[in-house]
Amino acid sequence: MSLTVYGTTLTSRLFLGTSLYPSPQIMLNAIAASGCEVVTVSLRRESSAEKSGQAFWSLIESANVRVLPNTAGCRGVKEAVNTAHMARELFKTPWIKLEVIGNDDTLQPDVFGLVEAARILIDEGFEVFPYTTDDLVVAERLLNAGCQVLMPWGAPIGSGRGLNNRYALKSLRANFPDVPLIVDAGIGLPSHATDALELGYDAILLNTAVAKAGDPVAMARAFSLAVQAGRSAWQAQPMLPRDMAAPSTPVLGTPFRDL
């Protein structure tokens, strides 16, 4: 059940965000309940090293998980690259979740800026997790730039709509069978997470669906189980859908059939 990204082996296929929780303790309890080994952290949460930022970083350290810093809120290549450099210095990791936002309403990635920023950062030794769309051509450009993992959206960030374009997501999986694919954004229910893993996706990254739940800890546990169920179903090779009914009990040779 393990997943390997940039040479690091993870036993959990659930990545969890760290914003929007009702309290720091609930965040820590949700992380523990989820069983996740990677949490995303925005550099903007660390804006005051001596005050709240340092306290937040201490909390994350106490969770004993790997940190995936992100460039959330960046709207240009230069801003994203500069933020990534600051994150590497602060968190002491080459990992970076790269976001270059192109639209304020949908928070859709600026795929042109994303590819450019990814190329720059990879040349500088970063291990980039790009938040991207479900476009095949963009995926190829990101892989050619040196990305070893792709993070296509399921739906707009925070929308909770699930997998808006299953066809496109299935096409990505079919075209890049050996590339780790992580659905990032739009997941609202555990069933959405199961759906993605049943399509063959390798992991899920989410935040709002857990943090804004009535009981974030219980929801984190539910997502953990959903991811496990989806992965197990994918490995079990699910039956293909049919247009016509197929009896589960053979009728040939059954006694007392009507003549």
Q: Is 97 a catalytic residue?
A: yes
Query: Is 186 annotated for ligand binding?
Result: yes
Q: What type of residue is 173?
A: R
Q: What angle do CA 61, 66, 68 make, to 5 degrees?
A: 105
User: Per-residue DSSP letters for 13-60?
Assistant: -EEEE-SS-SSHHHHHHHHHHHT-SEEEEEGGGGS-TTTHHHHHHHHH
As a whole number of angstroms, the distance between CA 158 and CA 238 comes to 30
8 Å CB contact between 63 and 39: yes
> Any idea which residue has 């609930």 for tokens?
26
Task: Given the residues 51, 78, 97, 212, select the one marked as catalytic.
Answer: 97
Query: Is 158 annotated for ligand binding?
Result: yes
8 Å CB contact between 200 and 213: no
8 Å CB contact between 216 and 21: yes
Query: Is 208 annotated for ligand binding?
Result: yes
CA distances from 29 to 23, 63, 148, 165, 214 (A): 10, 9, 31, 33, 14
Binding-site positions for 1-deoxy-D-xylulose 5-phosphate? 158, 185-186, 207-208
Q: Which residues are catalytic?
A: 97
From the annotation, which residues make up the binding site?
158, 185-186, 207-208
